[in-house]
A and B are shown apart, each in its own frame.
Chain A
Amino acid sequence: MAESRIVGIDLGTTNSLVAYMDGGTPIVIPGVDGSNLVPSVVALDPMPASGGRPTVTVGNSARKSLIDTPERVIYSVKRLMGRSLREVKKELKYFPFRLAGDIEAGEVPRIQLGEMRFTPPEISAYVLRQLKRNAERFFGAPIKQAVITVPAYFNDAQRQATKDAGRMAGLEVLRLVNEPTAAALAYGLDRAKEGTIAVYDLGGGTFDISILKLRNGIFEVQSTNGDTHLGGDDIDNLLVAVALDEIHSEHGVDLSAQPGAVQALRKAAIDAKIRLSTEPAAHFDIELFNGDRYQREIPRAVFDVLIEPILARTVGPCKQAMADAGITPDQIDEVVLVGGSTRIPAVRGLVDNLFRLTPRGKKPHTDLNPDEVVALGAAVQAGILAGASPVTEEMLLLDVTPLSLGIEQLGGTVARIIQRNSTIPASATEHFTTGVEGQTSVAIHVVQGERELACDCRSLARFDLKGIPPMAAGLPRIEVRFLIDADGILQVSAREQRSGQAAQIEVKPTYGLTDDQVENMILDSFDHAEEDFAKRLLIEARNEADTILAAVDRAPQNPAWNELSAEERALIATARAQLAAVIDGENLAAVSHAIAALDQATRHFAELMMDAAVSSAIRGKTMNQAGEKLSESVTAPHDFAPAEFK
């Protein structure tokens, strides 16, 4: 039996993507709407009148709810993954989300969304499930295994939370890959280059810099650094803050407490930011509720000055990474740019300066789409894990742990046991003993970070070593083995050696979700029986059929309809009738064929409409694929998210 496919997933702050290896080429899998990017936005539909759980939508359709029902939508949840209550509270100053009220210290924080509450991994699981469904739709077969990318600078808790999210979405996460490394894999695929590469990855919410040595197909990371709190979001927040400020002083209205208005400003800010990457100036023009307008011209020079302090924060990590790798800028052969924020000209200028590119006659690599390159690399890593392709056979990724691992000692200082930038898997062994007669448990406080004092590092976990045979104080010799696995996640095991039985000691971490909690949060039944899967495909096909039928019924209102010949209209009518006839049946193949036939019949119409509606016409797309645009032009909702499967 052929093994199922492994997909590669970029679970991003702003957008998420799923890709796979098609022979030797990584390819991004589009969603129902034809778009490669699934916005990492999750919305809760209104509570059904009949009771039960409200439907959860993901992606573009969820994004549409941002302005109408902001209290039922969440985005940028990646910034909350694996974070403690205190950290989340700090983070939420910049986002309009509410924490559920009754969270105890040490518990994983939950976000209030409408009448429900979710942990960050659950929110991410909805995004992952959408990607999983997109892939399943694409292949017509279940997908059970995935490689998921994480920022290189993610700590243990953030990585564990990402893995938990995968499990909740019904995916076995075979590997977590660091995003900059994934990007290097995607670039390294079609060039048998040797040399030193720097990957500068400025995404929606995180910044990573990684320096790799490429040799004989081995991608060996030398060093990595970054900031898990730095990205395009910060630029958006800054622009919104400036706008709110100016609106307050010019119009005397404080909009900051109105989530809908803030979201509208945010959208305008993002649009302005994107325009400024290609144009010398962008125009803010927003109608305030009292009829006034907030209008402002932002020249690029002003924008560059505004964002300078944000971009400057990427310099320190880059210099540290070069120092840790023991190299100077001149020894870097290639620079790869990743993440949507690297489209900003000021970012490119900074990178050029930092790595002395122009003086050396070099240019950064930008030929792969910076929004897609991480997902493409994840697909390459999936290919390496599947081991099936000669293209990836010779490739191997040797990554490092971004942060030092240490143990708190008496007096609150940290004893480092695994240094940052150690190639993973990596391990260390330490010995502990008891201080009290007959003591049967010892607590170890493990921290992650580079500071001297434990309180300045990220507390990773307090491990309780239990079941130590009672002995005189100081006599037990407990050997504790710390192992950072290939996902960058810590595993701890312990043995008591003195008693001569090498007793296994129970190791209980005290953070994140427990196995049972994750189990209870699993979104769908874990193993899809084949009939379940077929049933779901049928439901999705019916949804798709409904969408296209609705669009066809509205078609005569569109001016493009009049340009069709009588035969074409007749063909559409026939295909429409055929689809309507089979839509309620149980035959998936019949529904799929009828959809394809109607798609084909409406192809010319879709093209005409595209030509008329959009200057950048999308040629060759059928009505179904063009659904998003279509629905805008004929003002019909496009059903992006497949129905909930119950």
Chain B
Amino acid sequence: MLKVADSAVPVACWSCSVAHNESTLFCPHCSKIQPPPAGDYFSVFGLQPRFHLDLAALELEFHRLSRKLHPDRFARAQKNERQWSLAGTALLNDAYRTLKDPLRRTEYVLKIAGANASVPAAPAADPPSSAATNGKEKDRSRAPAGLLEKVFDLNLQLEEMRAASDMGKEDPALKEKLAAAKMKFDSLLGAVDRDLRVQWTAWDAGDAAARLLAQQAMVVLLERRRYLSNLVRDVSDILGA
């Protein structure tokens, strides 16, 4: 996989043979496209890993790099350049898609920082012809600490509501309760997001020890968030139906 930016290794340009930094997309000497760099998603944009990002600047840089790197610019180039353009643009797009989204970005930084408790690595002992699950499946069995009671109530209400709608009945009082519960969980979600941002700041500004603490806090927060957003989605589905 990708490794954290470590870009001091010089390599020779395939076209002009002048040595350059391996993390560059284009040769600084002859401007020719280079094989896709081996750094992380941040290094694609010339950035160090961090949580707070200037999204407007990120978009501008994404557009600037796309203009230079996109396969449309290499439609008639030789085969190796075409392949590098394709691979480089895929990397650029994957990087932009991950970094522009706060949640994906948070998970990604935690992953490259080695704190991927919430994102289990691909199981090595997969039976044939089945995919590696990659941690996207949510664990619904256990409510995070401090939410247990509220969630228990909500699940009861959800069950009642489902039963009622299966019978073709409407229960306005229950509906109101659910809507109120949804608002409560929405605000809990907002609180989690605020807490996450606090940890972002702590990580971005902190030393190694502070970062480790922030990472641990974020792993817990992300788990809580995932749980809450699943609940909110379930309630929205029921209310919308």
Residues of A within 8 A of B (CB): 3, 6, 174-175, 215-216, 218, 381, 384-387, 394, 396-398, 406-410, 415-417, 422-436, 439, 442-445, 474, 477, 483, 485-486
**Contact check: which of A218, A477, A483 meets B67 at CB < 8 Å?**
A218
**Contact check: which of B122, B128, B133 meets A442 at CB < 8 Å?**
B128
Q: Which stretch of B43-51, B72-80, B145-153, B225-233 is in the interface?
A: B72-80
Instruction: Tell me if B131 and A432 are in contact (CB < 8 A).
Output: yes
Task: With a 10 A CB-CB cut-off, give which of B71, B86, B97, B126 has the most chain A CB atoms.
Answer: B126
Q: How many A-B pairs fall under 8 Å by CB?
A: 110
CB-based nearest A residue for B89: A425
- Residues of B within 8 Å of A416, CB to CB, are 136
Instruction: Tell me if A409 and B131 are in contact (CB < 8 A).
Output: yes
User: What is the CA–CA distance of A223 and B93 in the complex, to the nearest angstrom?
Assistant: 15
Instruction: Tell me if A486 and B72 are in contact (CB < 8 A).
Output: yes
User: What is the CA–CA distance of A300 and B70 in the complex, to the nearest angstrom?
Assistant: 48
- Residues of A within 8 Å of B87, CB to CB, are 427, 483
User: What is the CA–CA distance of A408 and B127 in the complex, to the nearest angstrom?
Assistant: 12
Given contacts A216-B63, A424-B93, A426-B93, contact A444 B129 (CB under 8 A): yes
Residues of B within 8 A of A (CB): 1, 63, 66-67, 70-73, 75-76, 86-87, 89-91, 93-94, 96-97, 122, 124-134, 136
CB-based nearest B residue for A426: B93
Which 8 A-B pairs rank lowest in CB-CB distance, beginning with the nearest?
A: A407-B131, A385-B75, A425-B90, A435-B127, A474-B125, A410-B130, A431-B122, A427-B90
Given contacts A409-B131, A424-B93, A444-B131, contact A483 B86 (CB under 8 A): yes
Given contacts A423-B93, A424-B93, A486-B86, contact A430 B134 (CB under 8 A): yes
Instruction: Tell me if B72 and A396 are in contact (CB < 8 A).
Output: yes
- Residues of A within 8 Å of B91, CB to CB, are 427
CB-based nearest A residue for B77: A387
- Residues of A within 8 Å of B122, CB to CB, are 430-431
User: What is the CA–CA distance of A474 and B90 in the complex, to the nearest angstrom?
Assistant: 30
- Residues of B within 8 Å of A435, CB to CB, are 126-128
Distance from A412 Cβ to chain B, minimum over Cβ atoms (Å): 10
Given contacts A175-B75, A433-B125, A486-B86, contact A427 B131 (CB under 8 A): no
Instruction: Tell me if A426 and B90 are in contact (CB < 8 A).
Output: yes
Instruction: Tell me if A415 and B72 are in contact (CB < 8 A).
Output: no
**Contact check: which of A409, A422, A483 meets B97 at CB < 8 Å?**
A422
Instruction: Tell me if B70 and A422 are in contact (CB < 8 A).
Output: no
Besides A174-B76, A431-B122, 19 new A-B residue pairs in contact (Cβ under 8 A), listed by A number: A218-B63, A386-B75, A396-B72, A398-B66, A408-B129, A408-B131, A415-B132, A425-B89, A425-B90, A426-B90, A427-B87, A427-B91, A432-B126, A432-B128, A434-B128, A435-B126, A435-B127, A442-B129, A485-B71
- Residues of A within 8 Å of B63, CB to CB, are 215-216, 218
Given contacts A423-B97, A425-B93, contact A415 B134 (CB under 8 A): yes
Instruction: Tell me if A385 and B128 are in contact (CB < 8 A).
Output: no
- Residues of A within 8 Å of B129, CB to CB, are 408, 442-445
Instruction: Tell me if A433 and B124 are in contact (CB < 8 A).
Output: yes
- Residues of B within 8 Å of A436, CB to CB, are 128
- Residues of A within 8 Å of B89, CB to CB, are 425, 486
User: What is the CA–CA distance of A572 and B93 in the complex, to the nearest angstrom?
Assistant: 64
Q: List 30 A-B contacts (CB under 8 A).
A: A6-B75, A215-B63, A218-B63, A385-B72, A386-B75, A387-B73, A387-B75, A387-B76, A398-B66, A398-B70, A406-B131, A409-B131, A409-B133, A415-B134, A417-B131, A425-B93, A427-B90, A430-B132, A431-B124, A431-B126, A432-B132, A434-B128, A435-B128, A443-B128, A483-B90, A485-B71, A485-B86, A486-B70, A486-B71, A486-B72
Given contacts A415-B136, A483-B86, contact A427 B67 (CB under 8 A): no
- Residues of B within 8 Å of A429, CB to CB, are 1
User: What is the CA–CA distance of A433 and B128 in the complex, to the nearest angstrom?
Assistant: 7
User: What is the CA–CA distance of A498 and B17 in the complex, to the nearest angstrom?
Assistant: 33
Given contacts A415-B136, A430-B134, A439-B128, contact A397 B86 (CB under 8 A): no
